[in-house]
Structures are given as C-alpha cells and as structure tokens.
Structure 1
Amino acid sequence: MSFYLDDAQRHTLTQRRNSFTWRTEWPTWLLIGAIYGGWFFIASHARGFGLSIAIPLLAVFSAWYMSLQHELLHGHPTRSPFVNGLIGFAPLAVWFPYRVYRDLHLQHHDDPHLTHPEVDPESYFVSREAWRQAGVLTRVLLIARNTFVGRLLLGPAFSIAATSTQALRKVARGDWADVPAWVAHFVALAGLVVWLDRQCGIAPWMFVAGVGYPALALSSVRSFQEHRDADLHEHRSVINEAAWFWRLLFLNNNYHLVHHDLPHVPWFALRKVYVASRVQYVQRSGGFLVKGYSEWARQYAFAVAMRPVHGDLSRGARFGRPAAAAAFDTFSGGLQAPLRVTSTTPVARREARGSANGERDAPRHGRYESRS
C-alpha cells in the first residue's frame, strides 16, 4: 500500500516510474557490483591490507550489504522475488537468512500496527505484560538498549536472540517452513567461513565477532529512534536528514517516513521525493525530524530516548519495579523523559514556523493506493 501526499505527487512518481533510470534500475545494479566487488576484493586482499584495516572495512561493507538486502526485498532491482533472493542470499553479514529477514520485514510494514510488540517483529518496545514478567536485569538491559551507546552494544545481541528464539519456537510448534532457509544459510556460511580462513587469513571467530557483530551494530545506528510510539501511525516514523555517508550506507532509508509511505520507490529516488515535499513530510511526521545521527548521539549517548513499554507515553510514568529504575539510575545517572507525540525538536519547530510564514501546507488528507 502506497500513500501519496496528493495527486500531483502521484502523477510525478508515475512519470518517473517510466523513466530509463527507474525502468532499468541501473543505479541498483551498479550498487550490487560495488558491494559484492568491494567485499570480496577486501577479503581476498586481507593479508595485504592487514587485518586491522580489512576487518573494519568488511564490517562497513557488510552493513552496506544489509541495506542492499532491504532494497531487494522491496522489489528492486527486479520484480522477481526469486532473482532478488539469489542476489541477497550470500551470508556476508553472518546472522540471518535473507528469506527470513524478508518475511519479517514485510510484516513490519503493517503501518497501522507499527511498533506494537505483538505484531511488529522489528519493534523496540515490549508489552506491559512482558515488562511485568521481566526480571530486574532484563529491565535494565531493555532500558539501556534505548540509549544510543546501548543500541550499538546491545542491539545486535537482542536482534540475534529474538530471531533465533522465534525460529526455534516455530519448529517447536511444528512449523518447519523456515528450516530450509536456515539450513541453506548455514551451509553457505560454513563455506564462506572456510574460504575466509584458508584463503584470506580471517579466522572464523574474527569474521563473526569482528565483521558480523559490528555490521549489525552499524545498522543499529539507523534503527535508533527510527520509530517511536504514537497514536497516529504516520507520526511513528522518523525523518533523519543525515550526512551523505549515512545516506549512502543506509540507501536513503533515513528518510524513513517517506519509505513507509512509498515502499516501492527505489533508494536512489527517495531523497528527491523527500526534498520535493519536505515541509509536507515534516508536518505529516508530527515534527519527528532530526538533523543527522550525530544529534541522536549527542542527546542520548547514555540517556534514554524512549521508554521500553509500548503505550507508555506519559512523561511521569515509572518503569515499574523501583529496583529496576534504581539500577538504571546508577548506570546512567537518571532516567530521561521520552519523546512525546505532541513535542517537536528545535529543527521541527523552525520548520513549522517556516510553514506558517507562507510555505506550502500539507494536505489534510492524502491518497492511498495499492501498488500495481
């Protein structure tokens, strides 16, 4: 389902869809060549570069590859899920089979249920019941995960544990649908690990701990405050006006509200779509605008950006057990108030004033259309 701001935007995007760039998707094919070529060039020359250089570079390319996998599952560069699946099959980022990631992420795009922990598999919130049953240590870890530093250090571990647990539970229920994908993934991963060890001098533990985990941590930069809890689903996705490096690494997925509204738009067009209707998107997001990931890092390095319990929007709400709150008080020096739906960042307030001074206002109602 696509949401267009107005008929003019729908008409413009329909025209662009017929352009040579969109029809051929040559930027995405170029990207595929750059990522695969760069990854294997660095790996095969790891001894020459030195592992202290090769391993961090591989982590960056693996994070970039994860962004490519995201693009593939949304139907780029081909309309064939099979062909796109072949392109995204290689376990360069270690952890998850492409097909499993694809299915979970498409479930995440159920926007009316975005951030709901029982429905959204990518939610960083927990239900009130899960919070009530959690012990002190689990609560402290969940709170710490919602700091910027905690997201980098703990976010990957949470993702790995959650996906693995879900896979095991499906098998325990007698659902073996994902087992072939996991088996194929581990077979390919084993082959890649052997090649890296014997031909490139990269030990298995170094690949997992030095490439796989940091790659997932880099991707966690994008996920930090990517979504918030809000009454209106269009207020739940951020607009992050990140610097060029992050835009390229995340393939413009930092314009996250635009991506959720128009998931069929390819990565190379997202920025143009956003810039053309910037004021409207800022208003549509409810002021959920940030000037780059460094702003999140400055504000929330060790401060809590959002409360982990879904639906807890009150500024004075407590986390639950006093012991858990006290433990985190010791860890971070105190709990910070979460972002609220009605609040905006200083940047968003300036944008709102600009709109009041005569810039184009967003329409009260947009237009939803199913993708053909």
Structure 2
Amino acid sequence: MAEYFDTDHARDVAALQAGLAARTEWPTWLLIAAVYGGWVCTVWLLHRHLLSLAGATPLFVLLCTWHMSMQHELLHGHPTRLAWLNRLLGYPPLAIWFPYTLYRDTHLEHHRDEALTLPGLDPESNYVPAERWQQWPAWRRALWQARKRFVGRMLVGPPMSAAAVTATAWRALREGDRRYAPMWIAHGISVAALLFVLDVWAGVPWWYYLLAITWPALSIATIRSLYEHRAAPEPKARIVINEAGFVMRLLFLNNNYHLVHHDLPALPWYCLPRAWRLRREAYAHKCGHFVIRGGYGELLRRFAWRATDAVVHPFDAANEVHGAQAVQDENRIAA
C-alpha cells in the first residue's frame, strides 16, 4: 500500500508512474538484458579462451550482485504485471545460494512496516531477543556481533545466512513440513545444471564459482543491509535513507532510498531518486533524520570495525515469543 504525504505528493508520484519509462519499463528490460547478457557473454568468452578465469571473476561477482538486486525489483511487480513471468525472469540461480521463491516470500513479509526489526516478526531483522541472546554460546554471540560491523558483515554474513537457510529447510523436512520441498528440489536441479555447464563448457570449477564468485557477491550484497534498519519507536524512523554515490546506487538499484521504497513499494527503481528529491526534507523528517549523507563510504568509515548498534533489540515487545519460531534469523536472506 502506497503512502503519500498529501494529495500533491500523490499527484507527483502518479506523474512519475505515467512517464514513458514507467509505462514501458524499458530500464528494467534493459537491466535484465544487461545482467543475463553480461553473464552469458562472460561464459562465452571463457569458452573461447578470450578471457582468463581471473579476468572473468570480477565480472561474474558484479553480475551476480546485480542479479540479486534485479531479483528484488522483479518480486515487487516489475517489469510486467504477470507474477509468473516476473518469477521466471528472476528464477535463474546465478548467485546459487537462495531460491528466488524463498527470497520473494520472506521479503514481502518484511514489508510490514509496523513489525520492522522485531525478531520473529520481521524475517530480515538484524536483532535478537534478550532471552535468546542469553542462551547462546559465546561463539554464536561473537558471530552476531561481527555481523554488526562493516568488515565483519562481509566476512561472516554470507556463511551465516546460507547456514541458517539450510538449517531451516532441513528442520522443516525433518518435522514433516514438505511445503517447500518442490522449491528446493527445483532449485537444486537448476544449480546443478548451471554448475555443470560452467565446469564442462566454460572451464569454471564448481567449487571456484561457489567460493570465489558467489561468496564475494553475497558479501557485497550484505553492505546494503548493514544499517538499512534500526530499532526506533516509530516504524518509519526504522528505515534509512542512504545518499549513496552513482555506482552503488546502480548496483543496488536505488534501494538505498529505502524509506521511499517502503512507502512506495510499487514504484520502479529508476523513479526512486526523483521521488526522493521531490520530498527530500519531508522524508528526512519522517525517518527521524536517519539519513546517511556520505553513502556507503561513510558507513565504512564509521563502522568498519565498530558496531552500528546493539545486537539485542532494545524494545520489550521484541523480547516476546512470536509463534513456534521465536527468531527468524534462522531463515533470513542477507541480500
């Protein structure tokens, strides 16, 4: 559900959506062609021995990171109104670790702003309840504390997320919950086929693609979510505006204007900067001035080795048990 400041704001947003780009979605179609075309071209160049594996690695990493950003755009209803077609466009598992369907379902659940950051309610929460924290061993606390730091998040974030998703899937299967079994089977077949083609046709060992390409891609993707939300009394004050530079905005498809995205989730990625500029001061006030003026470079300077905030959620409501799974860090997707 879109949120507007007033009728003038609603009219301005409608004008953005009525423009040629939004009506035809040509920027998103171009994005899809660039991501998949770039990936296929890189594979072809390897196959023809026109590019070394070392030279192809950074291209693969950037394309896989961009692909994850593209998947986020697709699950929000772009570039078509056909959910099945958008799903098909986002389905190829270039980044390997997380099925698109799982990402779509958990992320859409994350868009309940009243539950943002609350463990057990927000599947993308970066916090844990005090009771759970006290029960954890020292090594697990250390990992979570590392995830609150820029460098630590890039190092331990991907394996923690992959391990959590795998553990959740295994626990569900062991408990007889087979709802997601077809999804995991299809994902496994797709991943196996992709790795087979890379290994046999392009000479990219499967283990190399996993560890030297998709792992760094996930690490880069975790930068965006490092301080995307914070614990605050007002739901909208929990959502950041990050005034990132052009390269990072393009890589993350303007999702750095995160409050604008939460307020206008159906607005395509290429309209978000304009929507931010239309009501810059109003949005800054709405999020309690949770604005990162220096972009991701400022985050690196401030939080390279220092935690953004506490791991334990400060609100009493966050320390309640919500359903059978009290903390949904077990199935979080870091991207």
TM over 0.5: yes
**Structure 1 residues 157-176: aligned runs within 5 Å:** 157-176=159-178
Question: What amino acid does structure 1 have at the position aligned with 2:245?
Answer: A
Equivalences, count: 313
Q: Which runs of 5+ in 1 are unaligned?
A: 314-372
The answer (yes or no) to whether the contact 2:236–2:287 under 8 Å persists in 1 is yes
Root-mean-square deviation (Å): 1.3
Question: What amino acid does structure 2 have at the position aligned with 1:264?
Answer: A
Provide the residue aligned with 2:84 in structure 1: 82
> In structure 1, which of residues 295, 306, 311 is the aligned counterpart of residue 309 of structure 2?
306
Provide the residue aligned with 1:295 in structure 2: 298
* Structure 1 residue matching 2:38: 3-state secondary structure: helix
Distance in 1 between the 2:211 and 2:43 partners?
15
**Does 44-53 or 210-219 show the bigger shift?**
44-53
Distance in 2 between the 1:248 and 1:301 partners?
22
Question: What amino acid does structure 2 have at the position aligned with 1:34?
Answer: A
Distance in 2 between the 1:286 and 1:172 partners?
44
Query: Displacement of 1:240 after TM fit?
Result: 0.5
Distance in 2 between the 1:297 and 1:73 partners?
29
Provide the residue aligned with 1:50 in structure 2: 52
Question: What amino acid does structure 2 have at the position aligned with 1:302?
Answer: W
Q: Which 4+ runs in 1 deviate beyond 3 A?
A: none
**Structure 1 residues 142-291: aligned runs within 5 Å:** 142-290=144-292, 291=294
The answer (yes or no) to whether the contact 2:65–2:95 under 8 Å persists in 1 is yes
* Structure 2 residue matching 1:3: 3-state secondary structure: coil
The answer (yes or no) to whether the contact 2:16–2:271 under 8 Å persists in 1 is no
The answer (yes or no) to whether the contact 1:43–1:58 under 8 Å persists in 2 is no
The answer (yes or no) to whether the contact 2:95–2:214 under 8 Å persists in 1 is yes
Give the structure-1-normalised TM-score.
0.82
Distance in 2 between the 1:179 and 1:248 partners?
35
Question: What amino acid does structure 2 have at the position aligned with 1:289?
Answer: V
Q: Which runs of 5+ in 2 are unaligned?
A: 317-335
Question: What amino acid does structure 2 have at the position aligned with 1:148?
Answer: F
* Structure 2 residue matching 1:48: 3-state secondary structure: coil
1:173-221 CA deviation, whole Å, 9 max, x = no partner?
3322211111111101111101101111110001000111111111001
Query: Displacement of 1:282 after TM fit?
Result: 0.8
Distance in 2 between the 1:166 and 1:281 partners?
37
The answer (yes or no) to whether the contact 1:4–1:10 under 8 Å persists in 2 is yes
Provide the residue aligned with 1:114 in structure 2: 116
Provide the residue aligned with 1:9 in structure 2: 9
Give the structure-2-normalised TM-score.
0.91
The answer (yes or no) to whether the contact 2:257–2:272 under 8 Å persists in 1 is yes
Structure number with greater CO (CA < 8 Å, separation at least 6) is 2
* Structure 1 residue matching 2:3: 3-state secondary structure: strand
Query: Displacement of 1:17 after TM fit?
Result: 2.2
Provide the residue aligned with 2:35 in structure 1: 35
Question: What amino acid does structure 2 have at the position aligned with 1:150?
Answer: G
Query: Displacement of 1:312 after TM fit?
Result: 6.2
Provide the residue aligned with 2:106 in structure 1: 104
